[in-house]
Every structure is written in C-alpha cells, then in structure tokens.
Amino acid sequence: MTTATIEKSVPRKRLAINSPAITAPAASRLEALTPSDWALDVRDLSVYFGTNRVLKDVSLQVRNRSVTAIIGPSGCGKSTFLRAMNRMHDLVPEARVTGAVRLFGSSIYGPEADAVAVRRRVGMVFQKSNPFPTLSIVDNVKVGPRLGGVRQRSVLDERAERSLRLAALWDEVKDRLNAPAVSLSGGQQQRLCIARALAVEPEVLLMDEPASALDPIATARIEELILNLKKDLTIVIVTHNLQQAARISDYTAFFYLGELVEYDTTSKIFTGPARQKTEDYVTGRFG
C-alpha cells in the first residue's frame, strides 16, 4: 500500500488531531516532510493490556536522523509507545497492539515482519543500565554481533571498538576491556549499554529516560552523545526532564492519558504550542 492510500484511509477527524505532518499550521517545519524523510510512520496505534487501552490511536511520523522527544506525565503511555516501536510488547502475553508502524516504509507488525530482525534495526536503551553482570566490558558489546552470527575475532574486536567510540566510552575503557562491566560507574554503564545497542548497527535507537538515574555530569555526556549519534541514526527519547527535551530534541511529542496531544518542532512545543494542555504542561502547571 502506498502512503497516499494510507492517508486516504485514515478518518479526517483523527488526522486533524494527530498528524501534524499533514495538517500542521503553516509555521511548522514538520509540514515540509515527505515520507522519504520518515524513519518511523505510526498510524492509529493503540496498545491494550488486557481490556485496559493505555495508548489511543496515536499517529505520528518520526524524522530520519533526528532526535524526537516523548514527554508527558508519569503513566501517560510514553514507555508503552516506545516499546511498540520495536515489538517489545510481543513478550507480554496480555498486551495487544493495533494500528500500523512502518520502519522506513515496511510494516514491523505485518505478516512478513520478524520481531528479532525488527529489534536488530530498532535498538533500545532503558532507564536503569542493565549490562550483563557476568560479562566483561568488551563482551557486553560483542553479545549482539555474536547472536547475529559474527564469529571472526577481528570483526568482533573492530565492531566493539567502533561501538565503544560511538558511545564516547572507548578512551575510558580501552585499557581494561576485560574488566567486569559492573566495575564501571553508573554513567559509564549506561554508555556501555548504548555501545551494546549500537554494536548491531541499528537504524533507530529508542531511549527510555536514559539519564534519569544519572548525575548532571554523566547526564551531560549522554546528551552530547545523543547529539553526535543523530548524524548517523534516528533517536526517539522518552524524558520527563523538559529542559533535556528542549536541549537535545528536534521534535517533541506531548502525550497525555494515552493520547498524543501535540507533536511539532521542539521550539514550537516549548515556545508556542497550539494546545492549552501542552502549554500547561511545558510551563510546569501540572506534572
């Protein structure tokens, strides 16, 4: 199905609420995007846990090689949205996902899609760093490529070094690559998890509050890293730190009670949002 037919098949009412790429006010840069700019194209996405619908008809397009922030109060469905982008809900028996998610044009929930392949293309980093505790620093990074079938030592070494450099960790660990991963500081462990995710060369990196357990210096390093990574890949980051969203993202989506309230350029969301609810949230009137 072409994008044009998808657009036609979506009821107008919903487009007006949720698809700024199509109906945004003239001031929005999102309007200029075409499907070839989209890394992710989400249409009418709903997620249920049992009978509880926690994400309601969310439609948005994530721009390739950009940082998109997901903001909103606790429990509004930010993590649920993120997890739907790489089929993590497949692992939860009571979860059900409806709607469509396309990754560079191909459906990740379609009959031909393979969840493992999707997760290789769409990596994820969690709030709490979770290195494999029994593995060394370098072996943590090699896990993904090894599972993907890479056997040659030189290739694994090269992939590990490249990933650790991309994650801005190489200089700190190059002399102790075989030390246990858990000997690193919290901020280093989180960068190790980023390196581990990068080692399978994903096209999209999902980050769920990746710095919320870190001190300001470690947080700054992660933010700097994110800005460097977007040259090569697409990042979707959940954060409850509004200053962080404003500092590092190009686009911001505001979720409330499972719905996408507003999605626009970050500068528009923070300086002149179209909706009162968004304004109330970004100005700290509720949290």
Ligand X SMILES: Nc1ncnc2c1ncn2[C@@H]1O[C@H](COP(=O)(O)OP(=O)(O)O)[C@@H](O)[C@H]1O
Binding site for Mg ion (CB under 5 A): 79
Are 60 and 72 contacting, i.e. CB atoms less than 8 angstroms apart? no
The Cα 53–Cα 125 span in angstroms is 25
* Min separation Cβ 8 and ligand X, Å: 31
* The pairing of beta strand 122-125 with beta strand 52-63: unpaired
Which of 90, 103, 83, 91 has its CA nearest to residue 208? 83
How many CA atoms lie within 13 Å of 286's alpha carbon, on the beta-carbon side?
9
Among residues 181 and 193, whose Cβ is nearest to Mg ion?
193
Q: Which two tokens stand for residue 176?
A: 């102790």
Binding test (CB under 6 A) with ligand X, winner from 2, 74, 154, 243: 74
- Quickly count: other Cβ atoms within 10 Å of residue 112's Cβ: 6
* The pairing of beta strand 67-71 with beta strand 122-125: unpaired
The Cα 253–Cα 89 span in angstroms is 21
* Min separation Cβ 18 and Mg ion, Å: 20
Query: Using the rule CB under 6 A, is 79 a contact of ligand X?
Result: yes
Q: Kindly identify the residues of this chain, within the stretch 167-186, that bind ligand X according to CB under 6 A.
A: none
* Min separation Cβ 130 and ligand X, Å: 17
* Min separation Cβ 78 and ligand X, Å: 3
Query: Using the rule CB under 6 A, is 104 a contact of ligand X?
Result: no
* Min separation Cβ 124 and Mg ion, Å: 12
The number of residues in the chain equals 287
Residue 19 binds: one of Mg ion, ligand X, none (C-beta under 5 to 8 A by kind): none
Residue 92 binds: one of Mg ion, ligand X, none (C-beta under 5 to 8 A by kind): ligand X
Residue 75 binds: one of Mg ion, ligand X, none (C-beta under 5 to 8 A by kind): ligand X
Backbone angles phi, psi at 251, to 5 degrees: -130, 150
Query: Using the rule CB under 6 A, is 78 a contact of ligand X?
Result: yes
Are 46 and 99 contacting, i.e. CB atoms less than 8 angstroms apart? yes
Radius of gyration of the chain (CA): 19
* Min separation Cβ 256 and Mg ion, Å: 14
Q: Kindly identify the residues of this chain, within the stretch 30-69, that bind ligand X according to CB under 6 A.
A: 49, 54
Residue 76 binds: one of Mg ion, ligand X, none (C-beta under 5 to 8 A by kind): ligand X
Binding test (CB under 6 A) with ligand X, winner from 24, 76, 97, 269: 76
Residue ranges binding ligand X (CB under 6 A): 49, 54, 72, 74-80, 92
